[in-house]
Chains A and B, each alone.
Chain A
Amino acid sequence: MSKIVAIAKKELKAYFKSPIAYIVLIITISIFNIFFFLIIDENREASLRDVFKVMEFLFIFIVPLLTMKIFAEEKSSGTMEFLMTTPTTNTAIVLGKYLGSLMFFTLIVAMTLSYYFIIEFFGQPDRLTILSGYLGVWLEGALFIAIGMLTSSWTKNQIIAAICSYVILFLLYFSVSFIKYFSSTAQVLIRYVGTWSHSENFIAGIITTSDAVYYLTGILICIMLTRLSIENRLWR
């Protein structure tokens, strides 16, 4: 456990020692702020529903930038050889790295809590719906990070890692838009695998076990596949 924390801390610190983290933080929060203003100005309601949808959409573009280096950088710089010859289990390495990135992502989400305070000040929002929306957005991001970490474990090249995760995230997010071209059985499957239907419920304030299971299973599968991928000796 202490090694997981040590690796997570190292990952989190590494974000703040590279300019990418600050650029991502500033650009993300600026874009969120603009959309928050536009949406509140347009809707005139004390709800973050549409803000959450925009956040979720933008995470598709932001998360791969955060996750592309997780393993690819270690492999290209040779530090993977160091990590894997210390008495640290592969599970601890993967979990530590995942937690580090998740903490950075949580910080981005936490910075948007100001929106809640603003609408709370000017109106009477439904607190539980907002809480559920935040949970949904956070879980969605947590899944995206797990996917990004997995693709980063496939290659030494950060650009390839990012492109692979963009492809997977686009498929997961936009697959529902093309659902009418598929047979009814495939439609059910696509609806379940796609993130859209699950995040919609959270944002609407409906927390169901099946949606929570969807995200948690997805995260778990990606973590297990990442572990398998770093155990694979082919890339060494």
Chain B
Amino acid sequence: MIITQNITKYFGGFQALKDVSFTINKGEIVGFLGQNGAGKTTLMRILTSYLPATSGEVIIGGKNVAKDSLAVRRKIGYLPETPPLYPNMTVKDYLLFAAQLKDVSPKQQRFQADKVLGECNLKDVRDKPIAVLSKGYKQRVGIAQAIINDPEVLILDEPTIGLDPVQIIQVRNLIKSLEYKRTVILSTHILSEIQQIAQRVLIIKSGEIIVDAGLKDLLSGKGSNLEEIFLKLHSVQED
């Protein structure tokens, strides 16, 4: 479903990604793990065609991200690190706007908006301006816009940041419910979260993938939990 080959990204003289290659199959839920500044967001931005890679290739659903960007964008739902919201719009108007831009057919737009309002527990705030919503609600509106066109690939940059424990479980369940139907990539700092949602983990350090393994293999091989493995990997590499 997603093939990246030797992705390198420079920002001026700074190398943000070094020769990143991986393949993600349809229906997989993959977690990107890494410290701040490791290159997770840059990698996600390249996958969504928002940033061009300096070199290398990304193929999503058989289409090249650089050459056939519109076709790739049709297949993708993306939640950036900061939910991209218009404070003056109501939740419903914003979702309808997102549906229009994401090629949802005019007949389906209202249906899809209602569907994601339900899935993300937003029905009680549908007519409120986004500006007055709490952070948790805003985050869920961000997720709602990402899934409004039933994308084949869902890319979520820190989807549970700013949510309370109940909301985290709701979002986690929402992502879990997409398993096998959609390919999901998410990044997070919360290691236990990856442990509960993802099937596979890519650990990124200073722009390089240092671990690419199934969660089960990883946990059975090197330690009892992901946190220990993560800390060990980082300190070992730094020694």
Binding site for B on A (CB under 8 A): 2-3, 6-7, 10, 13-14, 17-18, 77-89, 233, 236
Q: Complex Cα distance A80/B71, Å?
A: 19
Q: Given A82-B145, A236-B50, do A87 and B74 touch, yes or no (CB 8 Å)?
A: yes
Q: Is B25 in the interface zone, CB < 8 Å from A?
A: no
Which of B70, B88, B101, B103 is within 8 Å of A83, CB to CB? Answer: B101
Q: Given A87-B74, A236-B50, do A82 and B84 touch, yes or no (CB 8 Å)?
A: yes
Q: Is the CB of B49 within 8 A of A85?
A: yes
Cβ–Cβ < 8 Å partners of B98 in chain A: 82, 86
Q: Is B78 in the interface zone, CB < 8 Å from A?
A: yes
Q: Is the CB of A233 within 8 A of B51?
A: yes
Cβ–Cβ < 8 Å partners of B89 in chain A: 10, 13-14, 17
Provide the B80-105 mask, 1 if CB < 8 A to any CB of A, else 0: 11111111110000000110111100
Q: Give the A-B contact count at a CB cut-off of 8 A.
A: 71
Q: Given A77-B84, A79-B85, do A84 and B100 touch, yes or no (CB 8 Å)?
A: no
Q: Is B52 in the interface zone, CB < 8 Å from A?
A: yes
Cβ–Cβ < 8 Å partners of B74 in chain A: 87
Q: Is the CB of B49 within 8 A of A10?
A: no
Q: Is the CB of B80 within 8 A of A81?
A: yes
Q: Given A78-B84, A233-B51, A236-B50, do A85 and B97 touch, yes or no (CB 8 Å)?
A: no
CB of A30 to closest CB in B, whole Å: 25
Cβ–Cβ < 8 Å partners of A83 in chain B: 84, 101
Number of interface residues of B (CB under 8 A): 30
Main SS class of interface, B? loop
Cβ–Cβ < 8 Å partners of B49 in chain A: 85
Which of B51, B70, B81, B84 is within 8 Å of A87, CB to CB? Answer: B70
Could you give 15 example pairs across A and B, Cβ below 8 Å? A2-B106, A3-B100, A10-B86, A13-B88, A18-B88, A77-B85, A79-B85, A80-B84, A85-B49, A85-B76, A86-B102, A87-B73, A87-B101, A89-B70, A233-B51
CB of A149 to closest CB in B, whole Å: 18
Cβ–Cβ < 8 Å partners of B88 in chain A: 13-14, 17-18
- B70, B73, B80, B101, most chain A CB atoms within 10 A: B101
Q: Complex Cα distance A97/B52, Å?
A: 24
Q: Is the CB of A85 within 8 A of B85?
A: no
Which of B51, B73, B80, B97 is within 8 Å of A78, CB to CB? Answer: B80
Q: Is B48 in the interface zone, CB < 8 Å from A?
A: yes
Q: Complex Cα distance A85/B76, Å?
A: 8
Q: Is the CB of A6 within 8 A of B101?
A: yes
Q: Complex Cα distance A10/B71, Å?
A: 24
User: Which residue of A has the minimal Cβ distance to B50?
Assistant: A85
- B81, B85, B100, most chain A CB atoms within 10 A: B100
Q: Complex Cα distance A80/B81, Å?
A: 13
Main SS class of interface, A? helix
CB of A59 to closest CB in B, whole Å: 25
Q: Complex Cα distance A89/B49, Å?
A: 12
Q: Complex Cα distance A86/B80, Å?
A: 12
Q: Is the CB of A87 within 8 A of B102?
A: yes
Q: Complex Cα distance A101/B80, Å?
A: 27
Q: Complex Cα distance A88/B88, Å?
A: 22
Q: Complex Cα distance A77/B88, Å?
A: 12
Cβ–Cβ < 8 Å partners of A86 in chain B: 73, 98, 101-102
Q: Given A81-B80, A86-B102, A87-B70, do A233 and B48 touch, yes or no (CB 8 Å)?
A: no
Task: Give 11 new A-B contacts, CB below 8 A, not counting A10-B97, A14-B89, A83-B84.
Answer: A3-B100, A3-B101, A6-B100, A13-B89, A81-B78, A81-B84, A84-B50, A86-B101, A87-B101, A233-B51, A236-B45
Q: Is the CB of A236 within 8 A of B51?
A: yes
CB of B229 to closest CB in A, whole Å: 32
Q: Complex Cα distance A3/B101, Å?
A: 6
Which of A79, A84, A88 is within 8 Å of B86, CB to CB? Answer: A79
Provide the B161-200 mask, 1 if CB < 8 A to any CB of A, else 0: 0000000000000000000000000000000000000000
Cβ–Cβ < 8 Å partners of A84 in chain B: 50
Q: Is the CB of A85 within 8 A of B78?
A: yes
Cβ–Cβ < 8 Å partners of B86 in chain A: 10, 14, 77, 79
Q: Complex Cα distance A6/B98, Å?
A: 10
Q: Given A85-B76, A87-B70, A89-B70, do A233 and B52 touch, yes or no (CB 8 Å)?
A: yes
Cβ–Cβ < 8 Å partners of A6 in chain B: 97, 100-101
Cβ–Cβ < 8 Å partners of B80 in chain A: 78, 81-82, 85
